[in-house]
């Protein structure tokens, strides 16, 4: 993680982070000027002045973000970072035709934090336990230079994880090559050994993020078991059928003999306690062959069928008669036709 992180920060400038913070920094300076003006009205403020000052402070405090408190985070109290965080940089080492980890601005990964839980990209952190598709793992916190790193105690696992916490003003990692300034916002970085996936988050509004960014299929993230780009409503115009893929993940039960470990739940499909799920698979060129089916162990025949996951701008073959200008899911992966089996993203 350390070497990967150094390469990442050295090769990629965090211009977006600094730009997004500019307005916030200016607002805080303006607010501080107004408060100072109110407080310097004489050595002994009248009750009226005091009342105005307290009202002003109360208003300012209500709009100011709570600072990241790593001393509380270490104890499992995440109240100082509670809320929704926006991904501003993402990277992994699966880019066709390119070697090494490739980084890009933006991203669709989600990081949601409550007072006692952190949830993101296939992991959940509660107290000193990290849970992923492979079970529960004990984590340890290490503090250095006012920053905090959470990592697995046992790193001999199928997928390794780490979560880094950078309070405002504690690091120069997020900077341009010309100016070595400290970060102007709290930052959280989630790293996974699966495809060397790295996501950099700053505090943001999830609703605004969804409005401002168009959902697109992301094969690299799907390959790392991040199914967020599948979430949405998909419709087959030929058959008039609709699939609503949720952000809920269903894991394979112990009595299931399938090799598929988990999948995104399709809404309204539950039967006998099992829902239809869509699971990622192998990347073939510019698209992916995944699986759709159920973990119900009582089904004697194969419970999963192939499904092609194709980003916009990509054709499966010359015989692909679906609308290639749109993201689409092809039932049967083209075995019974392409255009007639295509589900297109609606929202």
Give the count of beta carbons closer than 10 Å to the beta carbon of residue 231: 16
Helix or strand (DSSP H, E) at 38 = helix 15-39
Closest CA to 168 of 87, 64, 90, 36: 64
**Mind listing the pLDDT tens digit for each residue in 96-120?**
666 666 777 777 788 999 999 999 8
Q: Which two tokens stand for residue 344?
A: 């297109």
**Mind listing the pLDDT tens digit for each residue in 33-91?**
333 333 333 444 433 433 334 434 433 443 345 689 999 999 999 999 999 898 888 87
| Residue 36 or residue 203, greater confidence | 203
As a whole number of angstroms, the distance between CA 90 and CA 120 comes to 13
Q: Which two tokens stand for residue 89?
A: 């940089």
- CA angle (99 as vertex; 98, 102 as ends), nearest 5: 75
Query: Where are the strands (E) in 193-240, listed by range?
Result: 197-203, 232-236
What is the torsion angle, in degrees rounded to the nearest 10, for the CA atoms of residue 76, residue 82, residue 88 and residue 90? 30
Instruction: With cut-offs at 50, 70 and 90, classify the pLDDT of residue 184.
Output: confident
As a whole number of angstroms, the distance between CA 137 and CA 181 comes to 36
Ramachandran angles phi, psi of 86, nearest 5°: -100, 130
Residue 14 has pLDDT above 70, yes or no: no
CATH number of the domain located at residue range(s) 2-13+68-212 in this protein: 2.40.128
Closest CA to 209 of 106, 319, 327: 106
Closest CA to 338 of 293, 314, 304, 308: 308
The 8 Å CB, 24+ separation contacts for 262-265 are 262/133, 262/225, 263/227, 263/291, 263/292, 264/227, 264/230, 264/231
**Mind listing the pLDDT tens digit for each residue in 244-275?**
999 999 998 888 888 898 999 999 898 888 89
Output the pLDDT for position 176.
43
Contact by Cβ (8 Å): 21, 184: yes
Output the pLDDT for position 95.
60
Contact by Cβ (8 Å): 263, 251: no
Residue 3 has pLDDT above 50, yes or no: no
What is the torsion angle, in degrees rounded to the nearest 10, for the CA atoms of residue 43, residue 44, residue 46 and residue 50? 80
Lowest-pLDDT choice from 29-33, 157-161, 190-194: 29-33
As a whole number of angstroms, the distance between CA 337 and CA 315 comes to 13
Closest CA to 190 of 221, 216, 154: 221
Output the pLDDT for position 174.
60
Closest CA to 189 of 74, 17, 15: 17
Q: Please state the pTM of the whole predicted model.
A: 0.47
Q: Is the dihedral of CA 6, 93, 212, 78 positive or negative?
A: negative
As a whole number of angstroms, the distance between CA 313 and CA 245 comes to 22
As a whole number of angstroms, the distance between CA 31 and CA 21 comes to 15
Q: Which two tokens stand for residue 312?
A: 């916009």
pLDDT mean across residues, the chain: 78
Contact by Cβ (8 Å): 321, 330: no
Please compute the mean of the pLDDT values over residues 151-158 and round it to a whole number.
94
Please compute the mean of the pLDDT values over residues 317-334 and round it to a whole number.
93
């Amino acid at each position: 993680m350390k070497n990967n992180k150094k390469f990442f920060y050295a090769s990629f400038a965090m211009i977006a982070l600094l730009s997004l913070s500019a307005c916030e920094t200016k607002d805080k300076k303006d607010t501080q000027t107004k408060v100072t003006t109110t407080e310097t009205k004489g050595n002994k403020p009248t009750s009226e002045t005091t009342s105005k000052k307290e009202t002003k402070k109360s208003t300012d405090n209500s709009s100011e973000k709570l600072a990241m408190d790593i001393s509380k985070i270490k104890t499992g109290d995440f109240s100082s970072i509670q809320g929704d965080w926006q991904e501003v940089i993402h990277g992994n080492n699966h880019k066709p035709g390119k070697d090494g980890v490739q980084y890009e601005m933006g991203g669709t990964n989600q990081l949601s934090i409550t007072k006692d839980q952190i949830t993101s990209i296939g992991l959940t952190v509660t107290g000193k336990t990290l849970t992923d598709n492979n079970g529960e793992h004990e984590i340890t916190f290490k503090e250095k230079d006012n920053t905090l790193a959470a990592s697995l105690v046992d790193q001999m696992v199928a997928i390794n994880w780490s979560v880094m916490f950078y309070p405002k003003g504690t690091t120069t990692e997020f900077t341009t090559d010309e100016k070595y300034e400290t970060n102007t916002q709290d930052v959280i970085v989630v790293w996974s050994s699966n495809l060397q996936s790295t996501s950099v988050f700053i505090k943001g509004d999830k609703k605004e993020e969804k409005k401002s960014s168009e959902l697109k299929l992301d094969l690299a993230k799907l390959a790392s078991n991040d199914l967020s780009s599948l979430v949405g409503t998909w419709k087959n115009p030929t058959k008039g059928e609709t699939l609503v893929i949720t952000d809920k993940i269903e894991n394979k039960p112990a009595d299931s003999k399938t090799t598929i470990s988990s999948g995104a739940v399709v809404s309204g499909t539950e039967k006998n306690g099992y829902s239809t799920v869509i699971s990622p698979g192998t990347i073939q060129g510019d698209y992916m062959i995944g699986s759709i089916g159920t973990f119900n162990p009582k089904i004697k025949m194969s419970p999963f069928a192939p499904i092609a996951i194709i980003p916009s701008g990509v054709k499966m073959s010359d015989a692909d008669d679906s609308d290639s200008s749109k993201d689409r899911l092809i039932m049967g992966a083209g075995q019974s036709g392409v255009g007639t089996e295509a589900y297109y993203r609606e929202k």
